[in-house]
Amino acid sequence: MAVLAVPEDITDAVAAQWDNIAAPGAALTGAQRIAAARRARDPASEGLSDSSAEAVDRLAHDAHHITAEWVDSLLDRELTSTSYVELMGIVARLAVVDTFDRAMGDPVRPLPVATPGAPTGAVDGDAKQRAGFIPTVGAVGPPSALSLIPTEMEAQFVLHDAFYLTIAGMLDFVADRDLRRTQIELVAARTSLANDCFY
């Protein structure tokens, strides 16, 4: 049986996530971000506040039960919209990387060492509370879910572009990435169904 090489854009995108997850974010230190990633893998892991741990647990293991009321209850406690969006980005990207490693027959990679430094506070000033649960830039939906924090949005699209298609590529209905576009969409739809994705 022939062994297919993993495309370089995928290995580069995965490697970039480790630098991103380890670095200080908009609201969280590198150590807090690593603690969130550890908690996403192991709900018994410690090192986060109660609200942050609750957010990570639901994002990673019980996403079907995320509601506006639940998000509001977190924001009524210590979490801010910025810290919630940051936790959401970390958990989502970790799920992609861990799933990729398992699919390749490899163990999940060890988490990186946290990069020292203070949170940047960098958010997009155009983000507004719209019909979604948290402030976004533009229309509410999966592409804008992390748009409050530009670096989280960019990191999301690094993986999106490598594992699926670029935004421009999504408009190309005959795109070919070793799989034809119809095959890509079949895999995407089946994966979404298996994960009970709302979209």
Tell me what pLDDT residue 187 has: 85
> Residues 66, 40, 57, CA angle at the centre, nearest 5°?
35
Tell me what pLDDT residue 7 has: 84
Average pLDDT over every residue of 63-82: 93
Span 23-58, pLDDT tens digits:
999 999 999 999 999 999 999 999 999 999 999 999
Look at residue 133 and give its three-state secondary structure.
coil
pLDDT grade, residue 166 (50/70/90)?
Answer: confident
**Structure-block tokens of residue 160:** 């999106």
Instruction: Give the C-alpha separation, 116 to 112, whole Å.
Output: 12
Average pLDDT over every residue of 100-119: 94
pLDDT grade, residue 196 (50/70/90)?
Answer: confident
Average pLDDT over every residue of 111-117: 96
Output b/e per residue, 78-90; b: 16+ Cβ within 10 A.
Answer: ebebbbbbbbbbb
Tell me what pLDDT residue 2 has: 52
Instruction: Give the C-alpha separation, 103 to 23, whole Å.
Output: 26
- Average pLDDT of the residues of the chain: 90
Global pTM?
0.90
